Structure 1
């Protein structure tokens, strides 16, 4: 009788240990998933901040460079694409288009010395530069948390738990090939 009770206790201990292991794996995946989601929310927050600055920048430039309507329209269209993006890939593509449009806008600005010295324009440019830095940090933080999550989802035995509970790998926020090129600066 004692032997049967001992075997039952051992089997129960193994089942309980296995249950705690499963719960620990599941809870770890949930924690990492929430961390990735929080980091992504911060990326979206910074992209929204930049998108909110752009209408003010466009309005300021419009006052000085009314004949540059195509460039201003391009910035506005790129901004609206960013606001309708939903996935990291869509955000990355829209962000690249917006960056290109802002680069064209900066070329226009160079043609208007009065605009470059306008206090509102300077303040907006500074805000935009600060926001660009925040976006870079947020993207880096998001990609790092996505990497941690993806590594966990792909690692054995957690990959079994991830499959059962349908945890899928997170998409990285990657820049396009044009943004990887070093800009050419000439004086």
Structure 2
């Protein structure tokens, strides 16, 4: 009489466990996705901060080295490229160009001792260095979040349903020209 109850209970228990697993996995994926979005936002905030500092730095250096027009144009072009980057891949390319442009700008500044002594220049230079450190930290946090999200979406059995739930692998923020950032802009005080 009650023989049919045992298989029904087993099936209901299996469905309940599967449902709880799907619910927990979905929530974990949403959480990781939000963390990656937050980390990308942190990167864009720091890139914007640096972009906001650059016009003041350029104007300060221009006061001493107005004839270095190509350097200023390169920094301005790199700044525009950084601001317009919409994806980690675009930002990586722009970051390589920015590092090269900053390296050139600081090289020009080194040729002018009176500029090196300018309090305004020193403050701007320190702000740029601080911002570069924050960009690096934000990039590490972003890439760590991407690693966790990508791993979670690719492991079995999550890979069977993560894509159907709308979760896709995200791209890392990697600088295309690794040599461009292998040595940060040299700043001497």
Task: Note whether the superposition's TM-score is higher than 0.5.
Answer: yes
Give the Cα–Cα distance (whole angstroms) in 1 for the partners of residues 45 and 152 of structure 2.
26
Contact 1:25 1:161 in 2 (8 A): no
Contact 1:26 1:161 in 2 (8 A): no
Contact 1:110 1:116 in 2 (8 A): yes
Shift in CA distance, 109/182, structure 1 to aligned 2, threshold 3 Å: closer
Residue 72 of structure 2 is matched in structure 1 by 72
Residue 90 of structure 1 is matched in structure 2 by 90
Q: Give 1:50 shift.
A: 0.8
* TM-score normalised to structure 2 length: 0.91
More helix by share: 1
Q: Which runs of 4+ in 1 moved over 4 A?
A: 180-183
Task: Give CA deviations for 1:3-62 in whole Å, capped at 9, x if unaligned.
Answer: 223332322222121111111111111111111111111111111111111011011111
My pick for the range that moved more, 39-48 or 115-124, is 39-48
Where does 1:38-53 land on structure 2 (aligned, <5 Å)?
38-53=38-53
Residue 54 of structure 1 is matched in structure 2 by 54
State the Cα RMSD in Å. Answer: 1.6
Q: Give 1:179 shift.
A: 2.9
Residue 169 of structure 1 is matched in structure 2 by 169
Residue 142 of structure 1 is matched in structure 2 by 142
Q: Give 1:177 shift.
A: 2.8
Where does 1:97-136 land on structure 2 (aligned, <5 Å)?
97-136=97-136
Give the Cα–Cα distance (whole angstroms) in 1 for the partners of residues 142 and 183 of structure 2.
24
Contact 2:53 2:128 in 1 (8 A): yes
Give the Cα–Cα distance (whole angstroms) in 2 for the partners of residues 156 and 170 of structure 1.
18
Shift in CA distance, 153/15, structure 1 to aligned 2, threshold 3 Å: same
Number of aligned positions between the proteins: 184
